[in-house]
Amino acid sequence: MKFIHTSDWHVGKTLKGRNRLDEHKAVLAEIVALTRAHDVDAIVISGDIYDSSAATADAQRLVVNTLMTMASDGVEVIAIAGNHDHGGTFEAYRPLMGRAGIQLFGQARARDKGGVYTFAARSDDSPVNVAAIPFLSQRYAIRAAQLIAPGDNVPARNVGSYDQWVRNIVTHLGEGYDPAGVNILTAHLTCTGGTFGGGERVAQSIFEYHVPAAIFPIETHYVALGHLHRRQELPAAAPVHYSGAPLPVDFGEEDNTPVVVLVETEPGKPAKVTDLPITAGRRLRTLEGSVEELRAQVDAAGDDWLRVRVKQSTYAGLRDDILEVLPNALEIHIHPDFTATSSGKVSSAQVASKTPAELFADFCAHVGSDDKRVKALFDTLHDELTSTR
């Protein structure tokens, strides 16, 4: 059987105030096209479908239409909630979406209460079992483990670590595997040793939120993870993969390669994994140089969203000059090499001994500005404010 693994769509994400819904629309249309081109049995979406737990109506409309299009093509759609999603809303819509052939998981469940979704692959009738673990906060991981596998979580063990609670859930769900079928596990979490993509919520990715990849049982044909935005495979007994984000959400992700993962597998055989590039959506790029050097990079920048680091001292109108030639610049900063490096404190006596013009000149030097027009404007305003007329 064949399925596509994807995650971290972050539909509704804005970048420095710029709405990216049209980009997401193009990306999701490309993913739909790939499910059709490769005639897959299923698509597994490993969390963070939305960027916000209070997703806008436009974002929800785009996601729902996309999922319903896939389901209407006969594709099994399995999606779990990530830390950006609202798990309760996923659960509220679970019965309705289930009628449409879309399996939503907003909370962890026991294997006999929907925690493992089973279907027959349309391509070869292979029995397929998908164990689902949506994002678990530290507090909810304990609660979920107690509800799902109470025998393994007596009160005396309530001091267990986050990875132990998740391990208990993984073990419990793995007991629902079929040795004669294809067994898949999807989760939204951080695996120890995984590489961050650059746009993740760090507070929900570090500290106690790590789990080792070794917790996933060898009987799992494929572990489909979400949360880290960089495409990567982690060493483990089972194939453990992050698909990465199909659209970079922050400039820290500009070097990531957006893909979805095509997985081909069958009972008793290892999974074959192929990355399918995602070409829709605008890329993120950082440019550096003086204003003149930046002008020379216009053609290379194309339609990308830009972060600009200016390698010269600032002056009045610099930002406007850059935006005139690079209208897609969302961030404009003076490179640290061209800002004042002095970190010494100035005493009150030193301040009192200087004129306002001298103090302003010191400030301009500190921020790396040597624009005479700014100093002249300060002098004019100072004269107006101090004039006795």
pLDDT digits (tens, 9 = 90+) for 326-347: 999 999 999 888 875 544 555 5
Instruction: Calculate the average pLDDT of the chain.
Output: 87
Q: Burial of 325 by CB count in 10 Å (0-12 exposed, 13-18 middle, 19+ buried)?
A: middle
Dist CA 309 CA 290 (whole Å): 9
Contact 245, 253 (CB under 8 A): yes
Phi then psi for 371, rounded to 5 degrees?
-80, 115
Instruction: Put residue 281 in one of left, alpha, beta given phi > 0 → left and psi -120 to 50 → alpha.
Output: left
> DSSP assignment of 273-302, as one string?
EEEEE---S--EEEEEE-HHHHHTTHHHHT
Instruction: Please tell me the predicted confidence (pLDDT) of residue 347.
Output: 55
pLDDT tens digit string along 370-379?
777 888 788 7
Instruction: Please tell me the predicted confidence (pLDDT) of residue 370.
Output: 75
Return the residue matching tokens 């001298």. Answer: 358
DSSP code of 241?
E
Instruction: Put residue 17 in one of left, alpha, beta given phi > 0 → left and psi -120 to 50 → alpha.
Output: left
Return the residue matching tokens 């779990």. Answer: 80
Instruction: Please tell me the predicted confidence (pLDDT) of residue 156.
Output: 38
Instruction: Please tell me the predicted confidence (pLDDT) of residue 354.
Output: 73
Q: Given pLDDT bands bounded at 50, 70 and 90, which one contains residue 116?
A: very high
Amino acid at 327: P
- Paired residues of 132 in beta bridges: 186
Dist CA 306 CA 282 (whole Å): 10
Dist CA 224 CA 80 (whole Å): 11
Look at residue 205 and tell me whether its pLDDT is greater than 60.
no
Dist CA 42 CA 5 (whole Å): 9
DSSP code of 50?
B
Question: What is the share, in percent, of the chain residues with pLDDT greater than 70?
Answer: 86
Look at residue 112 and tell me whether its pLDDT is greater than 50.
yes
Instruction: Please tell me the predicted confidence (pLDDT) of residue 383.
Output: 67
Range in 29-33, 47-51, 89-93, 252-256 with the lowest mean pLDDT: 252-256
Domains of the chain: 2-277 (3.60.21.10), 284-386 (no CATH)
Q: Burial of 345 by CB count in 10 Å (0-12 exposed, 13-18 middle, 19+ buried)?
A: exposed
- Say how many C-beta atoms besides its own lie within 10 A of residue 64's C-beta: 14
Instruction: Please tell me the predicted confidence (pLDDT) of residue 106.
Output: 96
Instruction: Please tell me the predicted confidence (pLDDT) of residue 379.
Output: 76
Dist CA 241 CA 264 (whole Å): 14
Look at residue 260 and tell me whether its pLDDT is greater than 50.
yes
- Sorted by sequence, the CB contacts under 8 Å of residue 347 that are 6+ apart come out as none
Instruction: Please tell me the predicted confidence (pLDDT) of residue 160.
Output: 55
Range in 34-43, 120-129, 197-206, 305-314 with the lowest mean pLDDT: 197-206
Q: What is the CA radius of gyration of the chain?
A: 27
Integer angstrom CA distances of residue 257 from 48, 243, 247: 18, 10, 9
> DSSP assignment of 60-105, as one string?
HHHHHHHHHHHHHTT-EEEEE--TTS-HHHHHHHHHHHHHTTEEEE
Look at residue 226 and tell me whether its pLDDT is greater than 60.
yes
Q: Given pLDDT bands bounded at 50, 70 and 90, which one contains residue 159?
A: very low
pLDDT tens digit string along 9-47?
999 999 988 999 999 999 999 999 999 999 999 999 999
DSSP code of 41?
S
Average pLDDT rounded to a whole number, residues 132-136: 94
- Paired residues of 234 in beta bridges: 240
Tokens read off for 82: 């990530």
Tokens read off for 152: 């393994």
Instruction: Please tell me the predicted confidence (pLDDT) of residue 388.
Output: 46
Dist CA 246 CA 261 (whole Å): 10
Instruction: Please tell me the predicted confidence (pLDDT) of residue 152.
Output: 52
Dist CA 174 CA 131 (whole Å): 7
DSSP code of 218?
T
